[in-house]
């Protein structure tokens, strides 16, 4: 397959700041996401997708019409020659980048990786782990070390755009393809205003994974928790039997969380409890936590652990006021994807045709597909070729990005056959 424009597109998109903002009541959480959205609408229209549009909430949608002769749209299928139904499928990626590291003034660097550690221009280095070792001889895109790279998920966007270009240029046989780019995935609001009925597809695929071959049909079930602690602020000189130090109570809570259930000590299907932010002072403090598991039984145990720790702190500090709030974020999409084997087997076939061995791997996180599947739209996840997401050591293999493009093209073809 001829080289696509995926790298050129990625470098252009990565330079645009689209960092999302947590705890924001509006969608999108940052206006800068419109900068990339508007560019993509213009590029989609240049490719001939004349209905390309961005709405008030920064959702970009467009339609690649079927290339099958005498095909007519019929709900979520094309009815082509001989009455064969071709499911309408959607390709999805998200516009925003994680607020965990700066996404402003990203300066992508393209290098040839030979072996070993990759030093970053502004300091720090990318250690060669197993994933990077597999990419010896590849072109690699890195940041300059002062920001994240944004492969999560601008690599997904670039792959989708390049696949659309190839489907048109090479006149591949395909059904109707719907394109969707969503805001605020990184802060858990990517589907807040996503209109499944209007999108009008039978199956969708998020392009938001890592190494080629790794496909995702299972994610964590996710909950968030916030512990609010109200203390009593008194001058330290006269604090005995009067001060209630909310900051100290918060620290004791975090120290009491089980180390063997932390993200840094778990893998694969193991659940975790992750206190990731502490804020406040003597008078008031907050601890924010993530609870992640692959089944409801383990999630219940995590909740019991948190509630037990809070109850003990209430006994130890009776003058403090402790308020615990636990909120469900998304569910394991594997619970429902098992009912849609066609969406999975077609993807496996497309991956094989792209020259890659498919392997189903659980995501220790979530995608827009987690919520979309729960909402009724089966949405597995496809790789992009990136790694070390949400950090200044993030990198992207150009060779693997091209495999993603080819996989998407083959997926469109497989559904049309």
Catalytic residue among 43, 78, 96, 208: 96
Cα 219–chain centre separation: 11
CA–CA distance, 289 with 295 (Å, rounded to integer): 18
Cα 187–chain centre separation: 10
CA–CA distance, 58 with 69 (Å, rounded to integer): 34
DSSP 314-354: HHH-TTSEEEEEEEEEE--THHHHTT-HHHHHHHHHHHHHT
Residues 358 and 98 sit within 8 Å (Cβ to Cβ): no
Read off the tokens for 165: 């270009």
CA–CA distance, 377 with 204 (Å, rounded to integer): 7
Q: What are phi and psi of 178, to 5 degrees?
A: -105, 135
CA–CA distance, 374 with 61 (Å, rounded to integer): 21
Q: What are phi and psi of 316, to 5 degrees?
A: -75, -30
18 to each of 31, 93, 102, 383, how far by Cα in Å? 8, 13, 10, 21
Order of strands, edge to edge, in the sheet holding 139-142?
109-112, 139-142, 395-397, 386-387
Told to judge if 208 belongs to the known catalytic residues of this protein, a careful annotator would answer no
Catalytic residue among 17, 152, 165, 185: 185
- Residues with Cβ < 8 Å from 25, sequence gap 6 or more? none
3-class secondary structure, 185: helix
Told to judge if 152 belongs to the known catalytic residues of this protein, a careful annotator would answer no
CA–CA distance, 372 with 208 (Å, rounded to integer): 14
CA–CA distance, 279 with 250 (Å, rounded to integer): 9
Cα 379–chain centre separation: 13
Point out the residues that are catalytic: 96, 185
């Amino acid at each position: 397959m001829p080289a696509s424009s995926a790298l050129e597109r990625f470098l252009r998109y990565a330079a645009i700041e689209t960092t999302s903002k947590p705890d924001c009541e509006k969608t999108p959480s940052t206006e800068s996401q419109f900068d990339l959205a508007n560019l993509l609408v213009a590029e989609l229209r240049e490719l001939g997708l004349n209905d390309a549009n961005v709405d008030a909430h920064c959702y970009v949608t467009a339609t690649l019409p079927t290339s099958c002769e005498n095909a007519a749209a019929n709900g979520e299928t094309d009815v082509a020659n001989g009455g064969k139904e071709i499911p309408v499928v959607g390709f999805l990626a998200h516009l925003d980048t994680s607020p965990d590291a700066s996404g402003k003034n990203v300066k992508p660097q393209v290098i040839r990786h030979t072996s070993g550690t990759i030093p970053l221009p502004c300091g720090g280095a990318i250690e060669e782990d197993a994933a990077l070792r597999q990419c010896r001889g590849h072109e690699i895109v890195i940041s300059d070390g002062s920001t994240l790279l944004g492969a999560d998920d601008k690599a997904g966007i670039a792959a989708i755009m390049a696949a659309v270009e190839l489907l048109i240029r090479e006149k591949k046989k395909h059904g109707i393809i719907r394109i969707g780019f969503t805001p605020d995935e990184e802060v858990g609001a990517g589907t807040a205003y996503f209109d499944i009925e209007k999108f009008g597809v039978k199956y969708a695929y998020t392009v938001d994974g890592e190494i080629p071959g790794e496909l995702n049909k299972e994610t964590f079930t996710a909950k968030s928790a916030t512990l609010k602690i109200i203390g009593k602020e008194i001058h330290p000189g006269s604090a005995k039997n009067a001060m209630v130090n909310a900051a100290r109570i918060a620290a004791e809570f975090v120290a009491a969380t089980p180390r063997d259930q932390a993200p840094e000590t778990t893998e694969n299907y193991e659940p975790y409890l992750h206190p990731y932010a502490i804020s406040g002072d003597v008078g008031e403090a907050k601890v924010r936590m993530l609870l992640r598991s692959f089944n409801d039984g383990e999630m219940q145990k995590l909740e019991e652990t948190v509630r037990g720790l809070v109850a003990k702190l209430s006994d130890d500090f009776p003058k403090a006021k402790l308020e615990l709030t636990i909120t469900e974020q998304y569910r394991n999409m594997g619970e429902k994807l098992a009912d849609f084997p066609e969406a999975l087997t077609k993807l496996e076939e497309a991956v094989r045709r792209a020259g890659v061995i498919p392997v189903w791997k659980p995501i220790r996180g979530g995608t827009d597909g987690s919520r979309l599947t729960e909402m009724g739209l089966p949405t597995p996840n496809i790789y992009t070729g990136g790694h070390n997401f949400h950090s200044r050591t993030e990198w992207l293999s150009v060779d693997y990005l091209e495999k993603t493009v080819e996989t998407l093209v083959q997926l469109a073809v497989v559904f049309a056959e």
